[in-house]
Amino acid sequence: MAGLQKILIILLVLVLVLLALVFSLNNQMAVSLNFLLFETQPHGVAVWIIMAFVIGALFGVLMTVLATVRTSVSRRTLKKRLDRAEQALEKTRAENDRTL
């Protein structure tokens, strides 16, 4: 099953690379981007679009990693609090058992 999944992922990546190649070959007109204070070197339209896609994907991965780390830290903190509360509960039950 894992072998089939790897093959499907490889095929998907190859199809995406092929689509990007065809897209870039069909969109070769050079365009420079003009920001407020500077202007970029002219590159093909496809280069700008692919760069925007890659930067967006990297930004998305970064946000996901940060959210995962934040959740993990929160989970660890809550686990410690739960352990302390359970220990306090057990201590209280033991004290109540001795008094009865």
- SS3 sequence of the chain: CHHHHHHHHHHHHHHHHHHHHHHHHHCCCEECCECCCCECCCEEHHHHHHHHHHHHHHHHHHHHHHHHHHHHHHHHHHHHHHHHHHHHHHHHHHHHHHHC
Residue 100 has pLDDT above 80, yes or no: no
Residue ranges covered by each domain of the chain: 1-70
What's the pLDDT tens digit per position in 52-61? 989 999 999 9
pTM to 2 decimal places: 0.62
Local confidence band at 78 (pLDDT 50, 70, 90 cut-offs)? very high
